[in-house]
Chain A
Amino acid sequence: MTAVEPERIHEKEVAIQDGVDISGHWNRMFDERVIWDFDTSKLDEVTQIEGAESLGACYQCGKCTPVCPVDHVGDYSPRKIFRKTQMGISLLQSADLWLCTTCMNCLRVCPKEVNMIKIMPAVREQAVLAGNAPTELSQAFENTFRYGNPLGEPARKRADWAKDAGVPVPILAQIHRPVDILWFVECYPAYHPRGKDAARGLARIFHALGVDYGILGVEEKCSCDSQRLAGEKGLFEMFAEHNIKMFSKYQFNTLVTADPHALNAFKHEYPKYGGDYSVLHYTQFLAPLLDRIPFKKSLPYRVTFHDPCYLGRHNGEYEAPRRLLEAIPGIELTEMARCKANGYCCGGGGGGMWLDSFSRPHVSERLSERRVREAVSTGADVLAVCCPYEISRFEDAVKSTGNEGKLIVRDIIELIDESMRG
């Protein structure tokens, strides 16, 4: 950028306005500085990427900044990202590219529809192709590519959790019959120790309700929605093709999943690849069956509920999880200030699950830690969740914020299961 060129400075030697002589340097005028006078190359670098065009629509109103969960613990928001590109900072080279959790709270308030949910994966894809993805994220990609799950667990053990469910868990390849529900278990419920607790709980609930269902077992691979949002489109496409092929082998009416990220993929992305299904999150599936759930024990808990970004804002479901919680005998539900459409993000979405050490130098604390403090401030003794990313994130955050003993984290499945078991 240069200073104003002399030919753009206008100053009349003699200026008379309405009969008053206003000659002198105070009548100096400058040409209007048009947008092209700024170096737009770094902005163009982003907006020329297919899917990332809308960053150019930002008019700097700043509505996104106060609702951006990352700005609460750092210095970040779509407005700031736009401004930095104007100032010549390349988003492709910046750590900013990896801090967005694609929680979508900015898009909710943006009058110009600057869509980070499309911008981030598109720009990240270019960075991934150029070999600039953070190492820990690449490791999660590599694990997913090799083993079908980002945790790096053996593909052969994908259904091992079911052995300890205490009830039979039908595997579609073995039962040779059509089912009503294809339960897509997904990676964290299949492998993470706390995810498995919820998976086993859901199997018991399905069993108690007599749900006609089956799982894919070792034929299932990651839905890959978070990998897609983190920029690995090729990986997503490969796995979407695989899962769609597996779904086509079996007859079922509805896909049910406990993972809102898988829900999002099945609802909005898989149809683009020929996989169009009736899909429900488990809370949506169970809510209409509430009066059939055989609750036994009253649970004397004061519970607050964390809305998963990919169930709430992304897919518009706020009521089903609340209906389930309110139906559990003994539970008193209390809301956090930031809830429903303005729910605060846990930090795990959009690849955040696999960027913890990358993000740490750029934030004062983890999003999950900020959220746990908010949950504790409500006086609740249980933080209820219904996304498999959240259980481990919040349990870690309870410990790291020194709130152990004050708050426990439970999937809604676990609370229902606990009451049912008596």
Chain B
Amino acid sequence: MNIIVPVKQVPDLVEELEIKEDGTDLEREWLKYKMNEWDESALEEALQLKELHGGTVTALAIASGDVDEMLYTCVARGADRVVKITGDFEEHHDSHTAARALAAAIREQSYDLILTGVQAADDLDGQVGVLLATYLGIPHISVVSGIEVEPMTHTATVRQEYAGGIMATFEVDLPAVLGVQAARAIPRYAPVSRVRQAMKTAHIDEVDATIPVGAGITVRRMFKPESTEHAEMLEGDVDEIVNRVVEILRERGIWRA
């Protein structure tokens, strides 16, 4: 079972976010980045599947920022191979560009399964897996929270969880792209000595993916939530407040007695 996990970094919310002057992006100079948490789940699920069925796990990332450190952390967690996609794309590309670049890099690889995080916290777009599967011409299921692989029939049985506690089970032919909502275990900790060892000994393969810039989304305006109205604070003793509450309920037509 050879599994590919595309991973990316998102801004770490430990630092306060600021918006660039032109109002279309974050002020990125002081940002700290961390691995997208859904990607961490996808990697964990891949490592668990490898432990069950053997094979390899490859983590794949588009070159930007301190992506090397993230890839070394993937090695420390148990990835067999890490690949960095280089090319002529902007530092902060959208899902469409990312999916094209990933597809170009993955097309040349052999794989049984591609696990993506279902979405990333920075754009909540959730389209990388969908587009990647489309470009590769293979099936895709998103928002997956349980994966069982059947190596004999080369299929996977996956679960989706809906609102209200309803579950759905799908069977899908492999290779396929699955968008992971949650892994079967909490993403494992990468011991620092392993990360440091990986930094010294692991090799990051580089794949060039020159791709046409995809038509994606354009950010027109980025802004912090603006408060329009404030809550009315009721003051006075208990009777006054209760009378006022009753009055408000009547005014709004919520209570008709």
Contacts and interface: CB of A to CB of B under 8 A. Distances in A.
Interface of A: 128-129, 131, 133, 135, 138, 141-142, 145-147, 152-156, 232-235, 237-238
Contacts of B192: 141, 145, 232, 234-235, 237-238
Contact of B189 (A141, A147, A153, A156): A141
Given A146-B34, A235-B192, A238-B192, 7 more contacts: A145-B195, A152-B14, A153-B14, A154-B14, A156-B15, A156-B30, A234-B191
B14 A234 contact: no
Interface in B177-233: 186, 188-189, 191-196
A129 B34 CA distance: 22
B12 interface: yes
A142 B192 CA distance: 9
Given A129-B193, A156-B30, A234-B193, A147 B188 contact: no
Contacts of B16: 154
Given A146-B34, A156-B15, A156-B30, A233 B193 contact: yes
B188 A131 contact: yes
Contacts of A146: 12, 14, 32, 34
Where chain B touches its partner, the secondary structure class is loop
A154 B30 CA distance: 12
Nearest to B188: A131
A145 B195 CA distance: 11
Interface-centre pick from A152, A154, A234 (highest chain B CB count, 10 A): A234
B186 A234 contact: no
Interface-centre pick from B34, B191, B195 (highest chain A CB count, 10 A): B191
6 closest pairs, A vs B, by CB?
A234-B193, A234-B192, A138-B189, A235-B192, A154-B14, A131-B188
Nearest to B34: A146
Contacts of A233: 193
B81 to A, nearest CB: 20
Contacts of B30: 156
Contacts, number: 45
Interface of B: 12, 14-16, 30, 32, 34, 186, 188-189, 191-196
A145 to B, nearest CB: 6
14 contacts: A128-B189, A129-B191, A129-B193, A131-B188, A141-B189, A141-B192, A146-B12, A146-B32, A147-B14, A156-B15, A234-B193, A234-B194, A235-B193, A237-B193
B34 to A, nearest CB: 7
Contacts of A138: 189
Nearest to A239: B192
Where chain A touches its partner, the secondary structure class is helix
A421 B185 CA distance: 53
Contact of A238 (B12, B32, B186, B196): B196
B189 A129 contact: no
Contacts of A141: 189, 192
B15 A234 contact: no
Given A234-B194, A234-B195, A131 B14 contact: no
Contacts of A235: 191-193
Contacts of B186: 135
B204 to A, nearest CB: 20
A290 B129 CA distance: 67
Nearest to B13: A154
Nearest to A231: B191
A271 to B, nearest CB: 20
A237 B34 CA distance: 22
B128 to A, nearest CB: 24
A128 B190 CA distance: 9
B217 to A, nearest CB: 29
Contacts of A237: 192-193, 196
Contacts of B191: 128-129, 232, 234-235
Given A138-B189, A141-B189, A156-B30, A129 B12 contact: no
A234 B196 contact: yes
Nearest to A139: B189
A141 B189 CA distance: 9
B84 to A, nearest CB: 21
B189 A133 contact: yes
A131 B187 CA distance: 10
A128 B32 CA distance: 26
A154 B189 CA distance: 20
B16 to A, nearest CB: 8
Nearest to B195: A234
A360 to B, nearest CB: 19
A196 to B, nearest CB: 18
A128 B191 CA distance: 7
B14 A142 contact: no
A152 B15 CA distance: 11
Contacts of A128: 189, 191
Contacts of A154: 14-16
Nearest to A128: B191
A263 to B, nearest CB: 23
B121 to A, nearest CB: 16
Contacts of A142: 189
